[in-house]
Structures are given as structure tokens and as C-alpha cells.
Amino acid sequence: MNNNETKIQTFISIFVLILYFNFNANYLFCRDKKDMQVNVLYIMIIGKKILNHDSLPSTNSFAAHLLKHNDPEEGTVIQAGYQTKGRGQGDKKWNSDKNNNLLISIILFPELIRPDEHNLINIFVSLGICDYLDLYFPGSRIKKPNDIYYGKDKMAGILIENSIIDDRIKNSIVGIGLNVNQTNFPADLPNPTSQKIVTGDTYDLDDCLRCLLAALDARYKFVLYGDRFLLEEEYSRRLIQQEP
């Protein structure tokens, strides 16, 4: 390894340590709700700008509209208290009570991720959600292709829509539906659960959003600048093994 390669590797190592430090600072905020003042010592990508809406047809559709008609900055988050046409994977719908859960979409411009590496987006988002849930209870798992489970029950869903041009991902819309305070679900949903069902506690959605975005932001920076192999290994350990 020559001097330039050594310098680059050293820079990356230091940068990754900074990422972990900043995530831990937000982690401590989430652990101790009494201390509501935490200095943010780094520039967030995910969550730097949040657009709040009482209701939208779909946060992913609104994000796509912004990309077509505006010039949103990377990491812009669209949050809705309710979705009238919430979308899941394929033709599935995403059902959620009003103002009880987190319904968000994130706009990304992941230029350092090649189209053939697009699964890294799913990996960092899945791990970020698990990091967030670990703040409240350990043991969340990932079920392919896009679900987060606690035990045998579904806690969250992910919908990622990539726009690929030639050899690059032009933009990515990351939709997340996370069940927080909802306790009653439609009968046709086979196995839903929520943070409140698991713990019995009612959560402040603003606090939950801040903690979730901090976890996602740290994971995104790691996938851009850190060791992606480590992320893939951790993702594999979190996976629910499918029955043959």
C-alpha cells in the first residue's frame, strides 16, 4: 500500500469513527428523554429538511412529484400523519391509523452506489430501522425483501423506488411505514404489531422520528464511506431464515 492509499484509508477510518460518535450522541438523546438538548456535531444528510403534512395520498408519490417539479436537496424527508393511498410492495396497500405511526419518504441521490449495488440501499435502511428499534427493545429482524419483524409479527415495511439512468442511480425514494402507537389493525392483516403493543408504552412521534432519522443517517454515511462488507455481514445476521 502506497502513501496515498494509506492516507485515504486513514481518512476513511477516522470518518467512520466520527459517524459512530455522532450516532451514539443521538442514541443517548433517545435513551434519555429528560435531556432534550443535544448538540449535533455533524451535518445530517437524512433529516436535514423535513416536510410535514397532515395527510397525503402517498409520501412516495409526493416525493416523486418533488423530484419532477422541484429541486429537493438530498435527505429531504416527507412525513404524513395519514395516507389516503399508502402503497406497499407490488400492489399491496399500507394501512395506518391517523397520527399513530411514522409514515415517511426520504429523497436520496446515492451517486456512490452503482445500479448493480442497489440492494445496499435496502440493507442500510433495514439496519437503520433495526438500530432504532434496538433503542426500545432488542431482537428486531429483517424479512426479505422489505419487512422488519419483531418475533413473528411485522413492525415496519420499506418501499424503495430507484430511478436509474445509464450507469448511475439518479435518485432513490425510500418509503418507510413504522407502526408506533397503533394497537388495532384491520382483520385482513395477518401479523401486524407496533412499539406500543410490544412495550405497552405510548410514544412521542416527534422523538421517534428524530431517533429513526439519526439511525438512518448514520447507516447511510457508513454505506457511502465505510466498509460495505461489514454492513452486508450484519444484514445477514439480522435476516429471518426462510423455510425451504
DSSP 46-115: TTSSEEEES-BS-HHHHHHHHHHHS-PPTT-EEEES-BSS-B-STT-B----TTTSEEEEEEE--TTS-G
Contact (Cβ atoms closer than 8 angstroms) between residue 28 and residue 38: yes
Among the ranges given (1-10, 74-83, 85-94, 117-126), the one the predictor scored with the smallest mean pLDDT: 1-10
Model confidence pLDDT, tens digit, residues 191-213: 999 999 999 999 999 999 999 99
Structural domains present in the chain: 42-238 (3.30.930.10)
pLDDT band at 187 (very low <50, low <70, confident <90, very high): confident
Instruction: Decide if pLDDT at 231 tops 80.
Output: yes
pLDDT band at 241 (very low <50, low <70, confident <90, very high): confident
Report pLDDT for 206: 95
Phi-psi region of 3 (alpha: psi -120 to 50; beta: other; left: phi over 0): alpha
Entry pTM: 0.84
pLDDT band at 96 (very low <50, low <70, confident <90, very high): confident
Among the ranges given (30-34, 95-99, 142-146), the one the predictor scored with the smallest mean pLDDT: 30-34
Model confidence pLDDT, tens digit, residues 20-70: 545 554 545 555 543 433 333 457 899 999 999 999 999 999 999 999 999
